[in-house]
Every structure is written in C-alpha cells, then in structure tokens.
Amino acid sequence: MNDKQNFVDANGISELSADQFVKNIPDRNKDSFVERHGLKYEASFNVMNKQELRDRFNKLLNYISEFVSNSLGPYGSGTILCRWPETFVSKDGFNILSNISTDCFVDRCLFEIIFDASTRLNNMVGDATTTVCVAIAALYDSFIKNAEEFDKIPPRKLIKAFERNVKIIVTELEKRSKKIDISDNEKLYNDIKKIALISTNNDEEISEIIADCYKQLKHPSIRISKHDSDKTKVININGIEAKELTLIDKSYLVDKNVMELDNIDVIILNTSINNVSFRNIIRPLHVLSHMRGRKLLVIATDYNKSFVESDLKNYILDDQMNDEKDITKEPSIIFTLLVNKDEQQHQHLKDLEIILNTHMIVESDVKLISSILNDPKFENIDLATTMDCLFTVDNRNIKGLTVNNAIIRRDDITERIFGSIGDTYDDKVIDLKMIKDRYNSMCFEDGSSIMEFLNNVVRPSYKLGYVEHAELKFSGNSFFSGFHYDENLYNRMISEAERDLNEAIEKYKNVGRFNMIVYRRKNRLLSLKFNMMEISLCGTSMIDTQYKYELLEDAVKACESAYNNGIVLGCMVDTQIVIKKLLDNKDVVGIDRDVLNMIGSALRTVHSKVIHMEDNISEKIDECISKEMVYQIDDNGDGEYTTDVITSYQTDVEVLSTIVSILSKIIPANQLIIKDAF
C-alpha cells in the first residue's frame, strides 16, 4: 500500500467485512496508534476524517441491515445463535443485533450508537429493532448520495428539520390511532390476537393464549416463565408489577435475568441515595433487618452516581465476602431505582408505599433523622437504640415475623456498624426482648426518657415495609407478591382509585376516542386488585422453548403497548399515509419536503422487505397507501389487502424517535477519534 491512499482504503476497510479486518493487521507493537494497527496514513493520528467516517458508517449500517432484515415481518426467517455452550434460534431483531460483534475498533464504536438506541426501543415496545436498522440504513444511504446538497445546510438545522417533521407526523398519526375496545370481549380477543400474531411470527397457539388472558383480565398484567412439563400453562397470580422498578447494579444478576428474593424488608426513599441518606438511614436499617435474618430492599427515586459507583459498591461487595475476602454470599441489601419522573410514577410510588406497608422517606425525613442522630443528646446513645426506636421493625402483625423474644445471632455486619451492644450480652447472640426493655428504660443524662423525646419530635414510628416475594430486573418491570398491608389503608386506596377512574370517564366521555388518562386510571385500579396471569411456557427442546419464549416476551410487550397507546395499521402504513398527505401539501417545501421524502422512502424500503415479493413491490405499497390497508401474503403465497394487520401506535412513534436519535449523532459528526486504550 502506498502512503497516498486514504485511511479507509489503505487498510482494506472498503473491501473487507468487519470480521476480516483485524486478520489483516500485521503489526501491533509499533509506537504510533496508526502503525500499531497496521494502518498507513500521511499523518499518524488516531483520527478518521468526515468523509472516511461517513463511508464507513454507511457500509456498517448496510451490513447490519443485511444481517437483521432476514427476520423482518411475519414471514421472516430465524437466525441460529451460538453462545457456547448454548445454541438457540431467534427471529427477534434485537436479540440478533445484541449477538453481533466485531474486532474492528472503528466498527465497534459506530455499532455502539445503533445498539444503544435499539436497546431503548426494545425496552419500550419490545419490537421494531429490525425496522429501525433497515430504515436508518436506507435513510443514511439517501443522505450520503445527496451529501453535496445537504452539506450546504448546517447539521443542526438539518437535525431540527427531522425533529420538527417527526413531531408533525406523530401528531397526525395519533389522530389516526384507535383504542382497543375492552367492552366487547370478542373484539378485545381478536385485536390482541392480531397484534400477537405479528410478534410471534404467526404462532397461533401463543397468540391465542395471550388473547385469552386479555379476555379474562381486561388489562395487561401478564408474566411469562419457562417450565419442564409437556404443556404450556396459564396460572392466576396474586401480585403486582412495579412498573419500571429496576436494579441499580447489573452485578446482582449472576446467571439469570431476574433476581428472586423471599421474606424481605422494604424501605422507599423518594429522594437520592447519597452519603447522608445511606449513613443515617439505609445502613442502620440494613443492620436491623440483618440482625433479624432478613434482607433489605431499598427502593429509591434517585442516586448520586459517584457515591453509588464507589462507596456503595464497596459496601455491597463487603456484604457478600466471607472471612477470606471471597465473594461467596448472596447480598443482604439490594438497591433498586424507580424514577419519580411524572405524576403517574409518583402515584405508583404512593401505591407501593401502602401495598408494601411502609413509609415513604422524603428529603425532610432524611434531614430530621440526621439531626436527631447528630444531636448532642444522643452522643452516648448507640445507633441501634435510636434507629430501633424510630422505625417499627417488629410487631407488624405478620405471621411468623414477630420476634419480641427471638435470639438473633451477631456477626461482622452488626459489629461493623454498631460496635458492642453492651457488656451484659453474649458475644454470639442478642436477646431482642432484652434490648427492647432496655430501650424503654433508657434515659438521657438529664433523666428524661429517650422514647418520650423521639415520640415528641417525629411522627408515629416510621414503618419498615415487608413483602414475601420479589422478582427484580435490571430493565423492565419488577414483581411483588405476598403482602401484609393495613386493610383500612388498602381499602381507602382502592376507593380513591375507583373515584379517580369514574371522574376521568365522566370528564372525557364526550371526547369519543382513545384517552390516555382513562386508560392509565383503569390500569391502576385493576393492578391494585392484584389480578395477574402467568404464562408458563414449555417446548419440545431447550432450543424450541427459548425460541418460543422470545416470541412470547415480544408479543406480551407489543400487546401491552397497543392496549395502553392505541393501534394503527401494521408495516407503518398509517405513518406512510400521513407522510404522503403532508407531501401532497404544496406549501411544504425546501428542507421539510426533503426530510419527509427521505423518511417516506426509508419506510417504503422496510415495507418492501416485509412483503417479500420480487415484482410490483412499489405498486403494491402505493395501493396500500391509497386503499389504507396492508398487503398480506398467506401461506400459499397469495396476497390480499386487509385491515387485520395492526400494531401499537407507540411502536411507530418509537421507530421515528429512534431514527432521529441515531441521525442526531451521526449526521453532525465530522470525525472519529479512537482512544489508544481499547
């Protein structure tokens, strides 16, 4: 190779696929970044310029589009994935994408942008990863072909045009969306089945099971699991999903996607996990739970990143270590996050407070408890005494949990936080009743009662919550079952939920179409009644079971999204109809027309791959738009126009948002710099 060749061609990137690229790197031991990777360029810097970056990104997007597009649509094919020692088949675009890897540094950097956006999309609607990959490849290809004209436009102006037009499309698309009618059992069943069929690759059995669950439940409260018997089971469950409640640290999940816990104490913090809240509230409560042989689950709405990644991480690791400093024990304290981002999540947090029978700790509580602990009066009072007086940890009317006279073992956690409880107690055990008696009799130096002081300063004792079973995830929703709540508070909450729903129905009864507020309040009421179902899946083999599990997981997410947000025609036909109508308006000119044409053309590319036809694809797509129907091919290869192919309105919205998210990163970029250490 001569030095005048550009960065890309000099390294064979234009001719070699990503997996071949590294094989052609001859020398990794030279000093400069470029030489060490076998690269030759006039200047030895770790920088790829704009044109080289665009060319590489365009090729990478087309690679990815080719890899995943074979799975697109109800007639797409599966991909064999091998993660030694397991091998399974998947048709899920996100699963295929997440298993693609490359040794090429350049491709790895660019691939991460696509994967990050696709992860959010998958978490939101459980679908459309393949659609995004194909659409973004087609759209960026169009951008590259017209780069000379687009480069005359400031990058931010172009991105703003995409954002502006996508917002217009979404507004018009919402007007075309329709709600799922739950008043008619048969219509509900049929609509859910149609949506499930798309996600399950036309699997009739799974789609009918999901549709039947909706027919019985009238709302989206379905969990899925796998079992070893020869028949798929549907089980009624008395529990509740904690929407978007996730584990803070992925390390909790050792070899599973779910962390299961039994008989756990719970505390909710509607504030941040930081040094103050941890030192004065979380850590002492952890010890109180641990002394009683239980784990502590912390649900927080925010956290200090630097504190969590340093001090808290070390504390969690220390909790799991044995005397030889090996990590052998399960964690006895678990941290989760439920972001209090809107009114709906705040209401969900308040509901959990009642269901889990605890108090929600807010910032003012943190300050109050901290001030008590730092009060000179408590200088000679051990922390155990104060916290056990402030929080109701025992006597919560839970069968088998009251431990007034239990003998509790002491260990390193107890000693590390509290120090010595007292000379009168054995080194091995603590008699809890003796400690309680001690609390009630203890006084300050001036003779006044500690308990009387605390009762005058704070509200009636804070309650540490409790639940019999929890299933926690790093992404998605968590699950709780086995509650011991206050019946009066629970009944009051149900009455309030019923009143809120009736008020919303009355207020919006004349709107005449899907209303998000009514649906959210209806979902809240039904979920608070703990009415859930679990689909326990089986298969003819481990590979078959895993394949069906992925289809079922995607279908459950897609159906829930459709139930909550409404439905539109599949293959993004409704979105294409909206774009055509916008383009028919002669007042839409310049950059806005260019952007709409690019989005429309990209979606037509996706549509053509779904139809899987050799001839007349463009004409068929035009017919779909004019007839406002979807062209569907049956198992015999015969096609017809139908309105039975439907999907979630939110899926189309998230696809458009994801496309803009990716474009906003790659279009303005004018160079790529790869840090030496990789």
Domain ranges of the chain: 7-166+666-673, 185-242+525-565, 246-250+257-467, 570-649
Half-sphere exposure of 174 (CA within 13 A, CB side): 12
Mean pLDDT, residues 343-368: 88
Half-sphere CA count of 501, side-chain side, radius 13 A: 15
Range with the poorest average pLDDT among 34-43, 57-66, 132-141, 182-191: 34-43
Q: 110 vs 36, which has greater pLDDT?
A: 110
Burial class (CB in 10 A: 0-12, 13-18, 19+), 145: exposed
pLDDT averaged over the chain? Answer: 77
**Two tokens, residue 239:** 């529990």
How confident is the model at residue 229, as a pLDDT?
66
Mean pLDDT of 82-104: 77
Q: What is the mean pLDDT of residues 157-168?
A: 92
Confidence of residue 531 (pLDDT cuts 50, 70, 90): confident
pLDDT tier for residue 171 given thresholds of 50, 70 and 90: very high
Q: Which residue has the higher pLDDT, 526 or 211?
A: 211
Average pLDDT over residues 116-141: 80
Q: Which positions ≥6 away from 179 have C-beta within 8 Å?
A: 513, 514, 515, 519, 566, 567
Q: For the residues 178-198, what does the mean pLDDT come to?
A: 89
Torsion of CA 525, 566, 553, 116, to 10 degrees: -110
Report the SS3 class of residue 274: coil
pLDDT band at residue 47, thresholds of 50, 70 and 90?
Answer: confident
The mean pLDDT value for 581-586 works out to: 92
Minimal CA–CA distance to 124: which of 678, 486, 531, 652? 652
What is the per-residue pLDDT for 581?
A: 93
In percent, how much of the chain has pLDDT > 90?
14
* 338 pLDDT higher than 70: yes
More confident residue, 346 or 123: 346
Distance CA 318, CA 14 (A): 50
- Phi, psi dihedrals of residue 201, rounded to the nearest 5°: 60, 40
Tens of pLDDT, residues 358-369: 888 999 888 888
Q: Taking every pair of C-alpha atoms in the chain, what is the biggest distance, in angstroms?
A: 95
Query: With 0-12 CB in 10 A as exposed, 13-18 as middle and 19+ as buried, what is 263?
Result: middle
**Got the DSSP string for 399-440?**
TTT--TT-EEE--HHHHHHH----TTS-SSEEEHHHHHHHHH
242-246, 378-382, 581-585, 608-612: which has the minimum mean pLDDT? 378-382
pLDDT at 587 over 80: yes
Query: Do residues 501 and 521 lie in contact, with contact meaning Cβ atoms separated by under 8 Å?
Result: yes
The answer to whether the peptide bond before residue 85 is cis (omega within 30 degrees of 0) is yes
Residue 646: in which H helix or E strand, if any?
A: strand 646-648
Q: Give the fold, CATH level 3, of 185-242+525-565.
A: GROEL; domain 2 (3.30.260)
Q: CB under 8 Å to 116, separation ≥6 — which residues?
A: none
What pLDDT is recorded for position 24? Answer: 40
pLDDT for 377: 72
How many CB atoms are closer than 10 A to CB 404?
A: 9
Q: Is residue 30 over pLDDT 50?
A: no
pLDDT per position as a tens digit, 437-494? 655 666 666 667 766 676 666 655 688 888 989 988 877 778 898 888 888 899 999 9
**Given the structure tokens 């922390």, which residue do they identify?**
383
Q: What pLDDT was estimated at residue 255?
A: 55
pLDDT score for 451? 67
Q: Does domain 7-166+666-673 have CATH number 1.10.560.10?
A: yes
Q: What is the pLDDT of residue 254?
A: 55
C-alpha Rg value of the chain to the nearest Å: 29
388-431 tens-digit pLDDT? 777 777 655 555 444 433 334 444 444 444 444 443 344 444 45
List phi, psi (to 5°) of 484.
-140, 65
The tokens describing 660, both together, are 């803009």
Q: Residue 445: what pLDDT? A: 67
The per-residue pLDDT for range 266-316, each reduced to its tens digit, is 999 999 999 999 988 888 888 888 877 788 999 999 988 888 888 888 888
Confidence of residue 526 (pLDDT cuts 50, 70, 90): confident
What the block records as the tokens of 329 is: 């024990």
The SS3 of residue 446 is coil
Token code pair at residue 580: 């055509």
Q: Are strands 47-49 and 671-673 parallel, antiparallel or unpaired?
A: antiparallel
Please compute the mean of the pLDDT values over residues 573-602 and round it to a whole number: 91
pLDDT, tens digit, 9 for 90 and up, residues 56-72: 888 888 888 888 887 77
Least confidently predicted of 156-165, 247-256, 647-656: 247-256
* 147 — pLDDT class (breaks 50, 70, 90): confident
Residue 332: HSE in the Cβ half-sphere, 13 Å Cα cutoff:
25
pLDDT above 90 for 168: yes
